[in-house]
Amino acid sequence: MAQTSPTVTMMIAAARKAGRVLARDFGELENLQVSRKGPSDFVTAADLKSEKILFEELSKARPGYGFLMEERGAVEGTDKSHRWIVDPLDGTTNLMHGVPHFAVSIGLEREGVLVAGVVYNVVRDELFWAEKGQGAYMNDKRLRVAARADVRDALFATGTPFNGKGDHAQFLEEIGRVIERSAGVRRFGAAALDLAYVAAGRFDGFWERGLAPWDIAAGVVLVREAGGVANEIDGGDFMSTGAIVAANTSLLAPLTKAVRGD
């Protein structure tokens, strides 16, 4: 494996520990799929167990760092310069339905700047990690964004507004424009993995609105360290608005124009 800093090494260990719990729970889901109640309570418990492990492991390794987590929300630390941004289970609906595509995501923010990210694809045992200025990797393989420059050849990923939230009409217009101009669009249901796949060159770009900071933080570091770009769709701060577009330098502008209808 490529050389990792002590901080990233610790982040990887925490992600793997939480991932082992999710993998065990995923293996037990088959019996729940046919029950009348369904697996929703079971998956909620898995999410909470994963978050508890991550909170404890990261707190032990870096006492005083703050947190922003999906379930616990904001946790103030004595160290005001550092903050963990954590999604203990990205792709909850996939896990709930027995779809083997979900991840643990850990981002690190220093003085308001994203500086490290780990995204662990649990079922495939693919560990994506990056640190500012040090490149992006999957396990021991260096990652680079895809080199495609023609939007007509590009494959993009996106996410659908969830459970009635967001502007569905706007989304349908956006996806229609992108499909019309590109080779296709995929919707896999885990934003952190979508961004990791952009970093790995599997997708040529990604966009979505209405995301939370923990959906974005780690994946943004991966994309940037793999040579790509991540911006807010309309020019603001994606950590505040949750509206993000990511691609290589050649495709970012045409993808953004297609999404916005420019």
**pLDDT tens, position by position, for the chain (262 residues)?**
578 999 999 999 999 999 999 999 888 876 665 455 556 777 788 899 999 999 999 999 999 999 999 889 999 999 999 999 999 999 998 988 889 999 999 999 999 999 999 999 999 999 999 999 999 999 999 999 999 999 999 999 999 887 666 788 899 999 999 999 999 999 999 999 999 999 999 999 999 999 999 999 999 999 999 999 999 999 999 999 999 999 999 999 999 999 999 8
Total count of domains within the chain = 2
Show the tokens assigned to 234: 């309309």
Q: Are residues 57 and 102 in the same domain?
A: yes
Q: How far apart are CA 261 and CA 176, in angstroms?
A: 10
Gap between the Cα atoms of 80 and 65, Å rounded: 7
Q: Among 131, 120, 86, which Cα is nearest to 17's?
A: 120
Cβ–Cβ under 8 Å, residues 45 and 57: no
Q: What is the pLDDT of residue 163?
A: 66
Picking from 124, 142, 160, the residue at the C-terminal end of a domain is: 142
Q: Is 21 helix (H, G, I), strand (E, B) or coil?
A: helix
- Give the strand pairing for 244-247 and 205-208: antiparallel
Main-chain phi, psi angles of 232, to 5 degrees:
-80, 140
Q: What's the token pair of residue 124?
A: 């495939």
Let me know whether 10 and 138 are in one domain: yes
Secondary structure of the chain: what % helix, strand, coil (to 5)? 40, 25, 35
Domain boundary residue, one of 111, 142, 173: 142
Model pLDDT, residue 96:
85
- Return the closest-CA partner of residue 158 out of 226, 42, 64, 255: 255
Q: Judge if 193 and 225 occupy the same domain.
A: yes
- For residues 95 and 93, give the distance between their C-alpha atoms in angstroms, rounded to a whole number: 5
Residue that is written with structure tokens 């002590």 in the block: 6
The residue type found at 22 is: L
Find the domain containing 135 and state its range.
6-142
Helix, strand or coil, per DSSP, at residue 14: helix
Pairing of strands 65-69, 79-90: parallel
Residue 1 within a domain: no
- What pLDDT, on a 0 to 100 scale, did the predictor assign at position 38? 58
Whether residue 123 sits in one domain with residue 16 = yes
Q: Is the same domain home to 23 and 75?
A: yes
Q: Are 156 and 182 in contact (CB under 8 A)?
A: yes
Domain boundary among 142, 162, 196: 142
pLDDT for the residue 109 = 98
